[in-house]
Amino acid sequence: MTQTMTASALTANAFAPFGEVLEVSGPPTKLINAGKCGRWHDRALLDFADARAGISIFRSECFALPYEFDLVERHPEGSQAFIPMSADPFLVIAAPDENGRPGPPVAFLTSGAQGINLRRNVWHGVLTPLGGPGLFAVIDRIGTTPNLEEYRYPEPFRVTA
């Protein structure tokens, strides 16, 4: 039986169990460029088991709500940051780990001015832009081993707005 779940607005607090929200919040760490630019400094916990960090570009098809899924995945070897290259919202699905398997998933909608950094080994859904070109810069571990674990829930979930 499909379970229905509601996506809530992405906030740093709500996302804290899974990683960091990459956004402007509060005053800038410092002003640069003669006061014309704010820098919110060092907002992601980059964490790589080995190898190194790199920047890749992802381009994904867009999806619509309600969105149905049964698959989540995680990357044991490193954190993974998604920076949208357009001001369009995307859907973020994450789940707590329960003894090596994902527990009940949660869903968030970004504001259009937010990226995320998924902590290393956090269960999450695949990239799901909801509009725009579907273009993202991804900062993750560059290595030679697979670094991927997948899990299919026995029943699908349907995410609504």
Give the residues lining the site for its own copies (CB under 8 A).
22-24, 28-29, 32-34, 36-44, 46, 52-61, 81, 83-87, 113, 115, 117, 126-127, 132-135, 137-139, 142
For the bound state, the minimum distance from the C-beta of residue 70 to its own copies, rounded and expressed in Å, comes to 12
Q: How far is the CB of 99 from its own copies (least distance, A)?
A: 26
**Closer to its own copies by Cβ: residue 83 or 109:** 83
| Cα 133 off chain centre by | 17
Give the tokens for residue 149. 């674990």
Judged by CB, which is closer to its own copies: 42, or 155?
42
Q: Which is nearer to its own copies, 13 or 41 (CB)?
A: 41
Q: What is the distance between the alpha carbons of residues 141 and 118, in angstroms, rounded to a whole number?
A: 12
Residue matched to tokens 């049964």: 70
Type of residue at 27: P
C-beta of 106: minimal distance to its own copies in Å?
Answer: 20
Question: Which is closer to its own copies, CB of 16 or CB of 113?
Answer: 113
Can you tell me the distance from the alpha carbon of 133 to that of 136, in angstroms, rounded to the nearest whole number? Answer: 9
**Which of residues 1 and 34 has its CB atom nearest to its own copies in the complex?**
34
Sequence-ordered list of residues with C-beta below 8 angstroms from that of 141, at least 6 positions apart, any chain: 48, 49, 50, 51, 52, 53, 54, 75, 77, 78, 79, 80, 147
Minimum Å distance from CB 150 to its own copies? 11
* Shortest reach from residue 93's CB to its own copies, in Å: 13
Q: How far apart are the first and last CA of the chain?
A: 20
Tokens coding 82: 């998604």
